[in-house]
Structure 1
């Protein structure tokens, strides 16, 4: 196959490496200047992706274009209309991810329970609302990559303090009432006509420190399974399949929810490749990436084979994570050493070659993901943490409790409520 990756920060580096390892042709473009070193010397780089379209078209049905980021949906729709096979998202996917109020209304129209959510342009209006109805709530910027702050005070005064520290011209945001329960994601591939089965369940760990302390990060670790997802899938993602088909969406769709004894409360969509989710799912996929992507791009496909059990991923980070080099001047080029490891469970992120040596690179400090699998979360956890020590990097940080909440009782709760 010929795969053209259109990237901002090259989050799918591990996927590109897997494709190259089994003989496929890959070319990528990297839009973010501070990510210029990511996968440098490891994945072939081009400057102008538009100049590579003929290269893709000449491969006929063996040519694919992959978009990693949100915000390129309209462009992807146009390329599909021109006859290219494109995997990534769509204009509708961009809106579902970026316009939270629109997404919540669509889900409410489909019969899902929605936690009260209000959109604001003015901080004065938001502060007035909190004063009139004090409550614990969540502050979210209305952009897909926007700031999120989960309030912990019952009267919302912590969220009010955050809003007061922001300026009126900082852009649209929403306040969503807080709901207690188990945060659970439901995800599946959409091929332009239908969702491929099976769907997966995921449990993310976004706080920086063990015990769910510290800043919200992009992700510190995830547990996934392709088993027992039908009940949650049928009540969530399956209901928006007609809209996705009408939009011609091709790619991953994930809906993050709070699940409790009373129901399912949707939070937000991811309508693109998820990082590190794609890497954590990889050990449970019984097709290599080329075979799976071919099925995602095939409107006649219906399913793909997976393995039972759980996969658990631990994100290995280096400074400036959880910030970026836009905010903090942090060194890159730190040496990376790898001891004995299972290569199928090592998923490189922001690394590249410098003078023939593997070093850290990139914008964020997403250095690698280590995975483990098992029949239970505990087995997958033990396997992943046995492998973590095989990677040595100066200033390496990672959480040591990925999966603990599920093992301690969250899976039992989901089962007792009838959702699994």
Structure 2
């Protein structure tokens, strides 16, 4: 007779910027042993007081039952560890390239017979300006490689002749010179922006899949700079025409590369079709935290089944999940002086009813108080769920009103687009 494996496992998280603190904290609360390593020096304090931190993750490989890489760029080492028999959640060199090299991502979409929006890659601002003058249209500037982490550099033009994009390129040339690296000019397509995401177990996608609507601009009504994300609404579904037209076509390729983890493809969709924009071949932030609010099984168990290549279906909540970041200065900019002056060690005060739906982001815990640390100013993510989008919104904003953080700001309209977006998606046959 087979003996049942002991439930408690040892998890080693290798983190780029400490983004996965909330997942780690959740897995620890489920009774697992957890260790966390953070690569970025300025983010080293994140998680202090919450979890056991380590200075050299490599020394703990033998200790761990399962190793989790929370960002792209670790694909080579993740694959090497898998080949040695370790259970690993994380990328491969192929999936890292899908996300980090936009041109490669676009060419792989075409190879899988998925139509893409026309784009050109440049290394020179002047060349890009000449290109726009020769081909006047509405464009989006998309940095590639490392620069794409600076989300505020992404610029979505509105002028039909590209004149606003030309002005921004001239400004980037003055401030960046030759240090900007590669960037793409992509034709702007109007429609609904939607992400399709799923977990992958090395062989196949795990159902249900996740449909996500991101809110990227700093201010309500999509005003201000791009931030990466200020909040997100989502739901789980067992099938989706957008999934079938995009991610599902990559199932054999991801299996061939033995990818184990989470993958997301961001698309613009309209009455003419589905146009994939880019891959996120890792956990999405804040996507994974909002997803975890809808997942009805322990995260540690889910990750272990995933890394063990088990076939299973996830148990998830019906209805909608939603989340909004509460941030402090200098977010979304990198300015140490401002951070130290206004935000460093600021206290997150929760007035009553406990911390349910309040996810720690760039925090440390001292004497049971949550203090803001790191350098980017992302304090907490607050989530809500409900049978309707309005119910989920109400729960989230009630929780936000229960939190006091000095100098904090957040979007007040996360989820508001759902009524209009869903009407369009239904009319196009995409829901």
Coarse TM-score class (shorter-chain normalised): over 0.9
1:312 correspondence with 2:322: yes
Q: 1:52 aligns with which of 48, 60, 63?
A: 60
| CA pair 350-169 structure 1, distance change in 2 beyond 3 A | closer
CA distances 1:121-153 after superposition (whole Å, capped 9, x unpaired):
222221111010011011111125253111121
Q: Which moved more, 1:204-213 or 1:73-82?
A: 73-82
Give 1:298 shift: 2.5
Give 1:300 shift: 3.2
SS of match in other structure, 1:273: coil
Give 1:325 shift: 4.1
1:156 correspondence with 2:162: yes
Report matched runs for 1:53-202 at 5 Å.
Answer: 53-56=61-64, 63-143=65-145, 144-146=148-150, 147-165=153-171, 166=173, 167-202=177-212
Contact kept in structure 1, 2:208 and 2:238, CA below 8 Å: no
1:366 correspondence with 2:370: no
Contact kept in structure 2, 1:251 and 1:272, CA below 8 Å: yes
| CA pair 400-228 structure 1, distance change in 2 beyond 3 A | farther
C-alpha distance in 2 between matches for 1:396 and 1:379? 24
- 1:24 alignment counterpart: 32
Q: 1:12 aligns with which of 14, 20, 26?
A: 20
- 1:221 alignment counterpart: 231
| CA pair 306-99 structure 1, distance change in 2 beyond 3 A | same
C-alpha distance in 1 between matches for 2:130 and 2:26? 53
- 2:4 alignment counterpart: none
SS of match in other structure, 2:277: strand
| CA pair 12-341 structure 1, distance change in 2 beyond 3 A | farther
TM-align CA RMSD: 1.5
- 2:406 alignment counterpart: 394
Gaps of 5+ in 2: 1-8
- 1:338 alignment counterpart: 350
Q: 1:383 aligns with which of 395, 407, 419?
A: 395
CA distances 1:62-121 after superposition (whole Å, capped 9, x unpaired):
x11111121111111111111111112211111010111111111122222211111112
- 1:351 alignment counterpart: 363
TM-score, normalised with respect to structure 2: 0.93
Contact kept in structure 2, 1:377 and 1:403, CA below 8 Å: yes
C-alpha distance in 1 between matches for 2:368 and 2:396? 28
Contact kept in structure 2, 1:201 and 1:229, CA below 8 Å: no
Contact kept in structure 2, 1:283 and 1:344, CA below 8 Å: no
SS of match in other structure, 1:197: strand
TM-score, normalised with respect to structure 1: 0.95
- 1:33 alignment counterpart: 41
SS of match in other structure, 2:365: strand
Contact kept in structure 2, 1:35 and 1:363, CA below 8 Å: yes
Aligned residues: 413
| CA pair 35-325 structure 1, distance change in 2 beyond 3 A | farther
Give 1:384 shift: 0.7
Contact kept in structure 1, 2:14 and 2:36, CA below 8 Å: yes
1:414 correspondence with 2:425: yes
C-alpha distance in 2 between matches for 1:342 and 1:169? 47
Contact kept in structure 2, 1:310 and 1:374, CA below 8 Å: yes
Q: Which moved more, 1:4-13 or 1:223-232?
A: 223-232
Contact kept in structure 2, 1:186 and 1:229, CA below 8 Å: no
C-alpha distance in 1 between matches for 2:44 and 2:116? 41
Q: Which moved more, 1:381-390 or 1:221-230?
A: 221-230
Contact kept in structure 2, 1:34 and 1:325, CA below 8 Å: no
